[in-house]
Amino acid sequence: MNLVFVLTLLFLLALPGFSQNSSGPETRRDTVVVTGTWQPLALEEADRSVRALPLDKLRLVTDTFTDLLRLDPSIDLRQRAPNGLQGDVSIRGGSFGQTLVLLDGLRLNDVQSGHHNLDVPVPLEAVGSVEVLKGSGSTLYGSDAVGGVVHFVTRAPESSEVRLRGAVGNFGVNQERGTASLVRGGVSQTLHFSRDFSTGFIPNRDYRNVLMSSDTRFRTGLGASHVLLATRDSPFGAEQFYGNFNSWERTRSWWAAGRQELGKRTELGFAFRRHTDLFVLYRDRPQVFTNRHAAESFQGTVRRREQVGSNTNVFYGAELYRDSIVSNNLGSHDRLRGAAYGSVDFRALRRFSLNLGVRDEMWGSANHQWSPSVAGGYWLTQSVKLRASASRAFRLPTYTDLYYQDPANRGSANLRPETASSYEAGADWNAGGRVRAGVAVFHRRETDGIDYVRSSPTDIWRATNFQSLRFTGVEADVRVALPRGQQVDFSYTGLRGAQAVLEMRQSKYVFNYPVNYGIVGWQGRVGSRFVARTRLGVVERYKRDAYAVWDLYGAATGGRVRPFLQFTNLGGSRYQEIPGVAMLGRAVVGGVEWVLFGGR
Q: Write the pLDDT tens digit of every residue in 381-415.
A: 989 999 999 999 999 999 999 999 888 889 999 99
Residues 62/468, Cβ–Cβ less than 8 Å: no
pLDDT value, residue 309: 84
Residue 10 has pLDDT above 80, yes or no: no
Residues 411/403, Cβ–Cβ less than 8 Å: yes
- Rounded to whole angstroms, what are the CA distances from 374 to 34, 98, 338, 344, 352? 18, 20, 22, 10, 14
Cα–Cα distance between 201 and 199 in angstroms, integer? Answer: 7
Residues 118/38, Cβ–Cβ less than 8 Å: no
Residue 598's closest CA among 112, 259, 246, 159? Answer: 159
Residue 24 has pLDDT above 70, yes or no: no
* Alpha-carbon 46 to chain mean position: 19
* Alpha-carbon 280 to chain mean position: 27
Residue 360 has pLDDT above 60, yes or no: yes
| Least trusted range by pLDDT, from 188-192, 368-372, 529-533 | 529-533
Average pLDDT in the chain: 90
**For strand 373-379 and strand 367-370, is the pairing parallel, antiparallel, or unpaired?**
unpaired
pLDDT value, residue 262: 96
pLDDT class of 528 with cuts at 50, 70, 90:
confident
- Percent of the chain exceeding pLDDT 70 equals 94
- Percent of the chain exceeding pLDDT 90 equals 74
Residues 92/51, Cβ–Cβ less than 8 Å: no
pLDDT class of 430 with cuts at 50, 70, 90:
very high
Torsion of CA 152, 435, 571, 80, to 10 degrees: -20
Of residues 250 and 500, more confidently modeled? 250
pLDDT value, residue 13: 38
Mean pLDDT of 41-47: 88
Cβ atoms within 10 Å, residue 206: 19
Cα–Cα distance between 298 and 334 in angstroms, integer? Answer: 11
Mean pLDDT of 507-527: 90
Cα–Cα distance between 136 and 47 in angstroms, integer? Answer: 13
Residue 489 has pLDDT above 60, yes or no: yes
Residue 519 has pLDDT above 90, yes or no: yes
Mean pLDDT of 444-471: 89
- For domain 3-228+239-250+350-598, is the CATH number 3.30.565.40? no
**What are the backbone dihedrals phi and psi of residue 323, each rounded to the nearest 5 degrees, phi first?**
-130, 155
Q: Write the pLDDT tens digit of every residue in 160-199.
A: 999 999 999 999 999 999 999 999 988 999 999 999 999 9
Residues contacting residue 81 through CB under 8 Å, at least 6 positions apart: 87, 205, 207, 236, 241
- Rounded to whole angstroms, what are the CA distances from 61 to 167, 436, 514? 13, 23, 26
Cα–Cα distance between 577 and 585 in angstroms, integer? Answer: 13
Residue 111 has pLDDT above 80, yes or no: yes
Q: Write the pLDDT tens digit of every residue in 274-321.
A: 999 999 999 999 999 999 999 999 999 999 999 998 899 999 999 999
| DSSP state at residue 397 | P
Residue 337's closest CA among 299, 305, 304, 372? Answer: 299
Residues 314/343, Cβ–Cβ less than 8 Å: yes
pLDDT value, residue 12: 34
Residues 264/223, Cβ–Cβ less than 8 Å: yes
Of residues 351 and 375, more confidently modeled? 375
DSSP assignment string, 14-27:
H-S-----------
Q: Write the pLDDT tens digit of every residue in 56-80.
A: 778 889 999 999 999 999 999 988 8
pLDDT class of 26 with cuts at 50, 70, 90:
very low
| DSSP state at residue 114 | G
Residue 494's closest CA among 438, 456, 541, 557? Answer: 541
pLDDT class of 502 with cuts at 50, 70, 90:
low
DSSP assignment string, 125-140:
GGEEEEEEEES--HHH
Cα–Cα distance between 265 and 261 in angstroms, integer? Answer: 8
| Least trusted range by pLDDT, from 18-22, 139-143, 383-387 | 18-22
For the whole prediction, is pTM greater than 0.85?
yes
Q: Write the pLDDT tens digit of every residue in 116-128.
A: 999 999 999 999 9
| DSSP state at residue 458 | T
pLDDT value, residue 501: 58
Residue 418's closest CA among 362, 372, 361, 466? Answer: 466
